[in-house]
Amino acid sequence: EADIYQTPRYLVIGTGKKITLECSQTMGHDKMYWYQQDPGMELHLIHYSYGVNSTEKGDLSSESTVSRIRTEHFPLTLESARPSHTSQYLCASSVFAGGGDEQFFGPGTRLTVL
Amino acid sequence: AQSVAQPEDQVNVAEGNPLTVKCTYSVSGNPYLFWYVQYPNRGLQFLLKYITGDNLVKGSYGFEAEFNKSQTSFHLKKPSALVSDSALYFCAVRGGNDYKLSFGAGTTVTVRA
């Protein structure tokens, strides 16, 4: 079944830890995105990728980094987590369709940094 | 720069009544417009989109939206709301060759039984 997966769904960690949030999609989409969303608030784009070996920073400055070594995989890494990183992180993907393509979202990872 | 405004933080309606969630946008060139819904502790689900053609777009779960170019609006509507429609709704726009979506701040819909 074509879908987009995120793991873990929930993560509670201490300050200074290195973490990687996983995102995988089985739809063969070229474009992938990471958004940060505080509960019940708007989405902010933090990273996106147009394809393998392509990564760009989004509109919201973030201390996280991403990589795109395989089409289906777009992990996000925080080298040293801080309480200000506490938020929900949503991964999305879309097919290249001239601009009218909708994004498909994963279930999100809710991160709490103590 | 492109942007989206959802002027209402909250919309409250009784079950069975019509539901409208407002959205206006600003973009260079022709807009691509989207509506998404988010249930608690979930990702966003795509509802419908406008690319070109008929100004009235029909989507999932009985929702529809009307594109109005002169008013730069894309309001989401449902003729008869259900309690299960209670959720957070986001309008989004993409303009021209920009592949990034700009989201509105969201509108919380509460449908009371």
Helix, strand, coil % (nearest 5) of chain B?
A: 5, 55, 40
Can you name the residues that pair with B34 across neighbouring β-strands? B49, B92
Q: Which residue of A has its CA nearest to B91?
A: A42
Place of tokens 């801080």: A82
Any chain B CB within 8 A of the CB of A48? yes
B48: closest chain A residue by CA: A102
B3 and A CB contact within 8 Å: no
Residue B45 DSSP SS3: strand
Which regions of chain A are under pLDDT 70? 1-2, 97-99
CB spacing of A100 vs B32 below 8 angstroms:
yes
Phi, psi (rounded to 5 degrees) for B44: -85, 140
Q: Does B82 touch chain A (CB under 8 A)?
A: no
Residues of chain B found within 8 Å of residue A50, distances taken between Cβ atoms: 99
What is the predicted pLDDT for the residue at B105? 93
Assess contact for A21 and A67: CB atoms under 8 A: no
pLDDT of residue B20 exceeding 80, the answer is yes
| pLDDT (0 to 100) of residue B5 | 96
Is the Cβ pair A99, B36 closer than 8 Å? no
Q: What is residue A59's predicted lDDT score, i.e. its pLDDT?
A: 82
- Tracing tokens 């509109």 back to the chain, one arrives at A59
pLDDT of residue B53: 87
Touching check for B39 and chain A: CB below 8 Å?
no
- What is the SS3 assignment for B62? helix
Nearest to A100 among B51, B90, B103 (CB): B51
Phi-psi region of B96 (alpha: psi -120 to 50; beta: other; left: phi over 0): left
What is the pLDDT, as a whole number, of residue B2?
Answer: 86
Report CB contact under 8 Å: A48, B104: no
Give the mean pLDDT of B10-37: 95
Exposed, middle or buried: residue B78 (CB in 10 Å: 0-12, 13-18, 19+)? buried
Give residue-wise pLDDT tens across range A65-79. Answer: 999 999 999 999 999
Q: Which amino acid is present at B75?
A: H
Read off the tokens for A27: 């739809």
Q: Is the pLDDT of residue B29 over 90?
A: no
Q: Note whether B35 contacts A: Cβ–Cβ < 8 A.
A: no
Contacts of A92 in chain B (CB under 8 A): 43-44
Are A107 and B43 inside 8 Å of each other by CB? yes
Q: Say if the Cβ atoms of A99 and B99 lie within 8 Å.
A: yes
What pLDDT score does A1 carry? Answer: 60
- pLDDT of amino acid B101: 87
- The pair phi, psi for residue B61, each rounded to 5°, is 60, 25
A110 touches chain B (CB under 8 A): yes
Share of chain B above pLDDT 90, in %: 77
Tens digit of pLDDT for each residue in B40-69? 878 899 999 999 889 999 999 999 999 999
